[in-house]
Amino acid sequence: MHRRSFVRAMAATIVLPALGGCATPRAAAGGRRLKRVGVQLYSLRDAARVDLERTLADIAATGYRDVELLGSMNNFGMAPAQLRTVLDRLGLRAPSTHVDTGALDDLDRQLDVAAALGHQYLIVASFPDEKRKTLDDYRMWADRFNEAGVITQKRGVWLAFHNEPEHVAPIDGQIPYDIFADRTDPKVVRLQLDTGNMAMGGQDPIKYLDRYNSRYWAFHIKDAPSLGAKTDTELGRGVVDFRRLLAKIDRIDEKLLYVEQETYPGSPLDSVRRDYAYISSLEF
């Protein structure tokens, strides 16, 4: 199931040439490593449906310290107070959650839940297919985000937007994502860069990081086998140069970085464990 449909259901949730798939990061001159690594819960969505608490325990045991939730209004049927208790007991934070655009019409309740769970961000995962067909659709969404961002800021929460591959498919010769990003107000709206989705959309995520660096305060650390690929892959096995990308992120220790994997060669949990081993040891 595509993330957009999944989140909606929960609420009612330089790029280099192919390197041949080396999963072990090489030593780097920078010598820095990520201080915290998170994971997007969508990576383990099937397990979370069966047993959310066990899945969160597996996340914590792997070494992740942050988890990005899915539609916090109804996280797999677990009430916010209970979920916060589980997160605290496991030593996990949930600084952000993915929501659908319906959250913009229900901000008071969304912000109450955000306060209960400790969210710093409400991140809209995508736009409905029928409302992203034209450049004017993207302009309309930008205006709505600017209005909603003023409201969330009053409650100490940022509104942000996450990119999907289709957001960089040209419409009338222009990139709709650029129209949206340029029209939103940085004082009230931030962006989440999904590196794999940008690559799967045929674009260089480092180019976008260079362009909107100060706008990106959250990241999905995701790899892709090639530019324009239809699926993602485990970290270090695709084309995204994570060492170079991480080194370019301004104020990286203040930002949220989540591993996300949507497709797997085998067990999803084994994949996110390998992803953690890769990104947590990568020097940049």
pLDDT value for 270: 98
pLDDT value for 75: 85
Write out pLDDT tens, residues 98-148.
999 999 999 999 999 999 999 999 999 999 999 999 999 999 999 999 999
Write out pLDDT tens, residues 249-278.
999 999 999 999 999 999 999 999 999 999
pLDDT value for 125: 96
pLDDT value for 13: 37
- Side chain identity, residue 166: E
Can you tell me the mean pLDDT for 68-77?
86
Write out pLDDT tens, residues 4-23.
555 555 554 333 333 333 34
Give the separation between CA 213 and CA 203, rounded to whole angstroms.
Answer: 16
pLDDT value for 74: 80
Write out pLDDT tens, residues 145-168.
999 999 999 999 999 999 999 999
Where does residue 155 rank: exposed (0-12), middle (13-18), buried (19+ CB within 10 A)? Answer: middle
What are the structural domains of the chain? 3-13+30-281 (3.20.20.150)
In three-state secondary structure terms, 70 is: strand
Q: Find the angle CA(257)-CA(156)-CA(94) to the nearest 5 degrees.
A: 35
**Of 179, 178, 140, 181, residue with least CA distance to 160:** 181
